[in-house]
Structure 1
């Protein structure tokens, strides 16, 4: 179980961390998504900060398990809200959202199962 916990946590942290970097560096994809969702572009920085905090929190969970659990739960909530934003504008292209959401749910599940 430990190997699954470590693998899923590191994978989720890496993928979500890359999304955080894209948001924080002003990459064109998060800006285009913000435009599509009718969200102001300046929101990509706070979103990137939330993603970075979640990614780092998952890793911090190795030392302080409650931080990992809270980070994973926070990421699940983040992506549920993102789903709502997609539905609000009737955007049904949810492939990438499903990947991120699944990783966040998997990280939460293995975290809870391991601890």
Structure 2
């Protein structure tokens, strides 16, 4: 179980760190998605910082601070539930797989983190 937790957490960290960097760099697909969802481009840095904070919290968990990891995973779950809500509200159903995948990673990390001995 611990090995699964480590692997899933590392994948979640990598995915969210990559997404945060894409937000900070305002990569074209991020800007296009933001426009489709009706989000102001000024929010991209804040969204990037939230993803980066989640990734950093998960990294701290792997380094021995488990409660921070549970909080980070929970925060990422809430973040990506919000992302799915934004997609539904904007009726951008074709791209829901992306925040859905990030939500699945965060939820799996949270589930595994809360079941550690």
TM-score by length of 2: 0.95
Task: Measure, in 1, the Cα distance between the counterparts of 2:89 and 2:97.
Answer: 17
What is the number of equivalent residue pairs in this alignment? 115
Q: Provide runs of 4+ in structure 1 moved above 4 Å.
A: none
Unpaired runs of 5+ in structure 1? none
Choose from 103, 108, 112 the match for 1:101: 103
Look up the SS of the partner of 1:114 in the other structure: coil
- Let me know the Cα RMSD of the aligned residues: 0.9
Q: CA deviation at 1:92?
A: 0.7
Corresponding residue number in structure 2 for 1:89: 90
Q: CA deviation at 1:95?
A: 1.4
Task: Measure, in 2, the Cα distance between the counterparts of 1:36 and 1:14.
Answer: 25
Task: Measure, in 1, the Cα distance between the counterparts of 2:47 and 2:74.
Answer: 16
